[in-house]
Amino acid sequence: CSLPRSPKGFPKLKNDTFLRAARGEQTEHTPVWCMRQAGRYLPEFRETRASQDFFATCRSPKLCCELTLQPLRRFPLDAAIIFSDILVVPQALGMEVVMVPGKGPTFTEPLKEVEDLLKLRQKVDVTAELDYVFQAITLTRHSLEGKVPLIGFSGAPWTLMSYMIEGGGSTTMAKAKSWLYRHPEASHRLLRLLADVIIDYLVGQVAAGAQALQLFESHAGHLGPELFQDFALPYIRDIAQAVKSKLKQEALPLVPMIVFAKDAHYALRDLGRAGYEVVGLDWTIWPQEARAQIGKDVTLQGNLDPCALYAPKEKIGELVKKMLESFGTQRYIANLGHGLYPDMNPEHVGAFVEAVHAHSRHINKH
């Protein structure tokens, strides 16, 4: 990855299968990519990352580009997703996050009281704060040489809020949820602030060269239907609408948008009507049930259990075939129901990708 060029004159796209499926057009095979495909399961990833602090890596466009491209050198994936982290948004709001080995991302001073909201930047210039992500996207888009489309992403407001209050991962999200019950107005203020930053951030990613966008509501499973209706869904909807209208205003490409709300099986119907071209599914959902609730006009993405990749390769092939038969090969993007785990065998990831291509081509022919 040589140094960034401008976000213009990008190489011509050679494989647009992923974008066509996202828009609901016919495809010869079902496209496939994996969440966390640029990750620790690859020895070359561990090698590139070895000497660097995690967030320092996120701030290096050259390293982000290299890490994004690594899985594509190994596997015939149909999309790349920029290497970054959802917590760059709280950092842009002025919070300090460090990566603690063995523990994960940790906020040095999480939000404890409603007054702590005043410590956050109330107006964020995403170009000033997150330009390193935009540079990484532009550089990677050039370096991909049109091989496959590049996906940009952000965490969704509730998921980011939960990290900012919990100070890291949590099994119950009790501190963050207590805000929703005790301080609903302040919660909405924080969620609105996050949504506004996310909207500008996602538009900036498209301006930099992202060809699709994914919104990760990774902590949806901690909310029930009512809290989700009040504190997550309105912002998820608003982000899709505002991003699209800003892209139009700025004469930028209208890229497909994906929403992935993990464990939100109670909200499939609403997610299907939230303004996204694609709804990502985790592995706890029956494909037929998802299709029935979401309807025929939205593309589905997912949802093989990541742990299925621990199975022998032949078994992975059988599971993929069954998944394709359940979802159908059109208006569908194959993926895992969550990200790849660090101890997975890269060969099994390859077997998954190849099985999707082989079985979907076979089904489409017959």
Q: Decide if 195 contacts 157 (C-beta within 8 A).
A: yes
Centre a 10 Å sphere on the Cβ of residue 254 and count the other Cβ atoms it contains: 12
Q: Decide if 220 contacts 267 (C-beta within 8 A).
A: yes
pLDDT (0 to 100) of residue 311 = 98
pLDDT for 101 beyond 90: no
pLDDT (0 to 100) of residue 3 = 64
pLDDT for 51 beyond 70: yes
Q: Decide if 133 contacts 82 (C-beta within 8 A).
A: yes
CA trace torsion 129, 132, 136, 142 (10° rounding): 90
Backbone angles phi, psi at 280, to 5 degrees: -85, 145
Q: How confident is the model at residue 4 (pLDDT cuts 50, 70, 90)?
A: low
pLDDT (0 to 100) of residue 308 = 98
Q: Active site residue: 74, 85, 131, 310, which one? A: 85
CA distance 311 to 226: 38
Q: Active site residue: 16, 20, 41, 49, which one? A: 49
Centre a 10 Å sphere on the Cβ of residue 292 and count the other Cβ atoms it contains: 12
pLDDT for 2 beyond 80: no
How distant is the alpha carbon of residue 123 from its chain centre?
Answer: 24
pLDDT digits (tens, 9 = 90+) for 185-241: 999 999 999 999 999 999 999 999 999 999 999 999 999 999 999 999 999 999 999
Longest dimension (CA), the chain: 63
Q: Decide if 257 contacts 179 (C-beta within 8 A).
A: no
User: How confident is the model over 44-60, as a mean pLDDT?
Assistant: 94
Q: How much of the chain exceeds pLDDT 70, in percent?
A: 99
**Eight-class DSSP state of 113:** S
Q: How much of the chain exceeds pLDDT 90, in percent?
A: 96
Q: Which amino acid is at 102?
A: G
Backbone angles phi, psi at 183, to 5 degrees: -130, 65
Per the DSSP assignment, residues forming a β-bridge with 99 are: 105
74: annotated active-site residue:
no
**Eight-class DSSP state of 11:** P
Query: What's the mean pLDDT when you consider all of the chain?
Result: 97
pLDDT digits (tens, 9 = 90+) for 255-295: 999 999 999 999 999 999 999 999 999 999 999 999 999 99
- Two tokens at 104? 């994960």
CA distance 14 to 106: 40
85: annotated active-site residue:
yes
36: annotated active-site residue:
yes
pLDDT (0 to 100) of residue 1 = 76
Q: Active site residue: 16, 20, 36, 41, which one? A: 36
Centre a 10 Å sphere on the Cβ of residue 41 and count the other Cβ atoms it contains: 22
pLDDT for 323 beyond 70: yes
The length of the chain is: 366
Q: Which amino acid is at 117?
A: L
All structural domains of the chain, each given as residue ranges with its CATH number in brackets, are 16-365 (3.20.20.210)
pLDDT digits (tens, 9 = 90+) for 332-345: 999 999 999 999 99
Tokens 């022998």 -> residue: 312
Q: Active site residue: 41, 59, 78, 163, which one? A: 163
235: annotated active-site residue:
no
CA distance 164 to 105: 11
Q: How confident is the model at residue 102 (pLDDT cuts 50, 70, 90)?
A: confident
H-run or E-run covering 283: none
DSSP class per residue in 47-77:
HHHTTS-HHHHHT-HHHHHHHHHHHHHHS--
Report helix angle 313-327 to 287-294, nearest 10.
30
Quote the pTM value. 0.98
40: annotated active-site residue:
yes
pLDDT digits (tens, 9 = 90+) for 134-169: 999 999 999 999 999 999 999 999 999 999 999 999
Q: Active site residue: 23, 40, 74, 361, which one? A: 40
pLDDT for 5 beyond 90: no
